[in-house]
């Protein structure tokens, strides 16, 4: 039997952020809450602060991951929401992070990776820019 699965990936560039981009504990907490809110299964979490500025936070999910990297000196953050759970609302997951980061402007790219043809081989990928 052949089976196919769509894995959605949102890549969000956040410009002019007003939220505290050095508060790794708060960013981890918000990303974890956002994952649980959309029904994702949290397997672990981690974060690192870089000397002087910025953080990277990751929430490891049974469905993949949520990643946030910040650059406070530029009021800039990158958010990646990558989940293979087609029932999870990626945009709802993003909304909690949006509220915290408070970007003045965002650029969103959505990739949908279609995988599995019965042999575990990737079929194709579709990308588009979104206006949220």
Say what the pLDDT of residue 127 is: 54
> What pLDDT was estimated at residue 46?
96
What distances in angstroms separate CA 28 from CA 22, 67, 127, one per listed residue?
Answer: 11, 9, 27
CB of 27 closer than 8 Å to CB of 14 = no
Tell me, which fold does domain 12-108 have in CATH?
A: 3.60.90
Instruction: Determine the pLDDT at residue 19.
Output: 96
Q: Where are the domains of the chain?
A: 12-108
Q: Model confidence at 25, in pLDDT bands (50, 70, 90)?
A: very high
Alpha-carbon distance of 75 to 18, in angstroms, equals 7
Question: Distance of CA 29 to CAs 25, 42, 76, 111, 122, Å?
Answer: 6, 12, 19, 25, 33
Q: How far is Cα 58 from Cα 28, in angstroms, rounded to an integer?
A: 7
Whole-number Å distance between alpha carbons of 47 and 57: 4
Strands of 122-130's sheet in order across: 42-49, 55-61, 64-71, 76-83, 5-15, 105-115, 122-130
The β-bridge partners of 110 are 10, 128
pLDDT value at 124 more than 70: no
What pTM did the predictor assign? 0.83
């Amino acid at each position: 039997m052949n089976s196919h699965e769509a894995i959605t990936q949102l890549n969000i560039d956040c410009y002019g952020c007003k939220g505290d981009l050095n508060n790794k504990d708060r960013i981890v907490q918000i990303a974890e809450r956002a994952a649980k809110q959309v029904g994702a299964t949290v397997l672990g979490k981690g974060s690192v602060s870089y000397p002087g500025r910025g953080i990277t936070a990751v929430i490891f999910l049974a469905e993949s991951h949520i990643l946030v990297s910040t650059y406070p000196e530029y009021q800039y953050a990158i958010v990646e929401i990558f989940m293979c759970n087609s029932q999870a609302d990626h945009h709802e997951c993003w909304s909690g992070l949006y509220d915290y980061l408070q970007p003045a402007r965002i650029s969103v790219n959505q990739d949908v990776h279609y995988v599995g043809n019965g042999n575990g081989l990737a079929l194709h990928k579709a990308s588009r820019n979104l206006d949220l």
